[in-house]
Amino acid sequence: MDFDPKLCEAMGLSPRHTEKVRVLVMTGYGLNCEDETAAGFQRLGCAVDRVHVGELIAQPSAESFSQWDVLAFIGGFSFGDHVASGRVYANRLRYRLGEGLARFVDRGGLAVGMCNGFQTMVKLGILPGLDRPEGQLAAQQASLVPNERLGYYDGWVTMRADPKSPCVWTRGVELIDLPSRHGEGQLVYGSSDLSARSESAHQVPLRYVDAAGDSTCEWPHNPNGSVGGAGALCDPSGRLFGLMPHPEAFLYAENHPRWRARRDAGDERTWGEGVALLANGVRAAIEAR
């Protein structure tokens, strides 16, 4: 995918800076969406590497992720969703690449996980990441379990961002439409204390909302029934972010099912709203540099 200078300008980014940002898109084991995810970052001018996780596992070390600024945990069906979505993949990463992931987080790296990637980050303990010991990954503290209304749901959702959240990926976002497709997206915590701490720290940066713009648990506005409309999590630093919908599937205005109506109503954007989330991550990576 070619760099789009007009998009970069629209996002308030300089190609002199974005070209220095290196993004790792981890592939393999039944994952997909790698092309869309890579395209989103490449259109902003980033250098993107698509690497099969098996290659990383073949030579594990504490510096496995040292050359990248951003890690992208992509969507799909890792290991066929056997046992639970993201479970087998998370275990493989924890026990083969856990030290490298912990080192990446310690040095201030950024990460985003979409759908299966979000499920994996949660089962890895990266999210919500409370009480994480330095040099280690935290224990698993939450999970994404089968939708309250059982079955795989594929449809568009509207989400509202929490302006008080530390999440760097949602800065400046108010309402956002995104495509959502999953069967296990209901967020649950290991204890009421963990839930309360995560909520009080505003670590739920995006919530599903109904037609009135209010957070909701009701289907189909909320496709999984997560309490409080929770559709995403970030860690306490705001650098690590996961969400159930797919921002990488909304890179162009025409991706939206009502794009003609939006255009006729005066919306002149040629880019999809998913790009804004990715651009925020890139901006944070530039600031970190």
**51 touches 89 (CB < 8 A):** no
The yes-or-no answer on residue 115 being catalytic is yes
The yes-or-no answer on residue 46 being catalytic is no
Q: Which of 182, 221, 246, 256 is catalytic?
A: 246
- With a CB cutoff of 8 Å and minimum separation 6, the contacts of 107 are 66
What stretches of 28-150 adopt beta strand conformation (E)? 47-52, 70-73, 110-114, 142-145
User: Do you find a cis peptide bond into 163, omega within 30 degrees of 0?
Assistant: no
The yes-or-no answer on residue 246 being catalytic is yes
Q: Residue 22 phi/psi, 5° resolution?
A: -105, 130
Q: Which of 33, 46, 115, 234 is catalytic?
A: 115
Partners of residue 207 on adjacent β-strands: 160, 230
Residues in the chain: 289
Q: Which of 36, 184, 248, 273 is catalytic?
A: 248
Bridge-based pairing state of the strands 110-114 and 70-73? parallel
Q: Cite the active site residues.
A: 115, 246, 248
